[in-house]
């Protein structure tokens, strides 16, 4: 009994290349307020979206080791680029030592459950290059047409605060105005930065396209797995912790925007 109680009270580790994963962390905190979260943003190495799969795997292994050393019962890979490149490696490497949740599978399930025919996917270069969304969607829903496009300008644009304005409208228009997106009925925002421009994208499509992101669907996947494993925390006794590998005031300021409330970033020197 004591051991079960202890395991339930362990933390959930969450990591991303930087601060975009805070959109996922916030959704988890809202869905599961009793859970203690330890967030790690690898700001020293961002963006992951432009890195090779090998580099992303290396970073993800080291960060997961750091989170495991904090005794995490679960690790959420709150980054699409890292989920694409490193999820299966992490499962193999840390087999039996913790639970892993990626951000790709919940989003794929959300879109295939609804049986959309024409599905658009926008993400970083690393995520699109991996073909993970196209392959997983086609595996579950053969009839679907999947149109994928790397949209590398969006993450830095959002990070610099350029959204809901002339610049973001013009960039969104340039990317989504391409003819392959003319007939989509659903669009996956397959990057953890994009929830901040979800409303603009919905408006771009006159609310006629279902725009899905990896916030609430991932929080629900976390809830379901913890419930299944009997690992839901009964209460939270300490403040959530937020670490970055390279601190700047600018990260701290932007972190608030992504998390939706005031947070304090600390530096963790894991490299």
Q: With CB under 6 A as the contact rule, which of the stretches 46-54, 164-172, 229-237, 262-270 interacts with ligand DGL?
A: 46-54
Binding flag, residue 254, ligand DGL (CB under 6 A): no
> Of the two residues 17 and 112, which places its CB atom closer to ligand DGL in the complex?
17
Q: Which of 79, 111, 155, 189 is catalytic?
A: 79
Tell me if residue 72 is catalytic: no
Binding flag, residue 79, ligand DGL (CB under 6 A): yes
Closest approach, Cβ 235 to ligand DGL, in A, equals 30
Give the Cα separation of 83 and 262 in Å (integer).
Answer: 27
Binding flag, residue 41, ligand DGL (CB under 6 A): no
> Count residues contacting ligand DGL (CB under 6 A)?
18
Which one of residues 102, 112, 124, 148 is an interface residue with ligand DGL (CB under 6 A)? 124
Q: With CB under 6 A as the contact rule, which of the stretches 55-63, 77-85, 93-101, 137-145 interacts with ligand DGL?
A: 77-85
Closest approach, Cβ 95 to ligand DGL, in A, equals 25
Closest approach, Cβ 21 to ligand DGL, in A, equals 6
Can you give the binding site for ligand DGL, defined by CB under 6 A? 16-18, 20-21, 46-49, 79-81, 124, 127, 155, 191-193
């Amino acid at each position: 009994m004591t051991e079960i109680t202890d395991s339930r009270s362990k933390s959930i580790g969450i990591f991303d290349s930087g601060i975009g994963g805070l959109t996922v962390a916030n959704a988890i905190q809202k869905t599961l307020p009793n859970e203690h979260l330890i967030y790690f943003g690898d700001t020293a190495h961002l963006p992951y979206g432009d890195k090779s799969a090998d580099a992303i795997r290396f970073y993800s292994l080291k960060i997961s080791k750091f989170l495991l050393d904090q005794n995490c019962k679960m690790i959420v890979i709150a980054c699409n680029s890292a989920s694409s490149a490193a999820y299966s490696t992490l499962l193999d490497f840390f087999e039996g030592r913790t639970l892993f949740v990626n951000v790709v599978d919940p989003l794929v399930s959300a879109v295939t459950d609804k049986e959309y025919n024409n599905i658009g996917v926008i993400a970083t270069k690393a995520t699109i290059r991996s073909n993970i969304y196209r392959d997983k969607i086609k595996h579950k829903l053969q009839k679907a047409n999947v149109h994928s496009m790397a949209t590398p300008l969006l993450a830095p644009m959002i990070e610099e605060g350029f959204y809901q304005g002339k610049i973001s409208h013009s960039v969104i228009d340039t990317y989504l105005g391409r003819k392959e997106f003319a007939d989509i009925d659903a669009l996956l925002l397959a990057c953890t930065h994009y929830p901040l421009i979800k409303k603009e994208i919905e408006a771009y499509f006159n609310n006629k396209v279902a725009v899905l992101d990896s916030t609430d669907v991932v929080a629900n996947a976390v809830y379901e797995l913890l419930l299944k494993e009997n690992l839901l925390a009964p209460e939270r006794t300490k403040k959530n912790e937020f670490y970055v590998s390279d601190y700047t005031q600018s990260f701290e300021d932007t972190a608030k925007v992504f998390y939706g409330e005031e947070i304090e970033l600390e530096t963790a020197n894991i490299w």
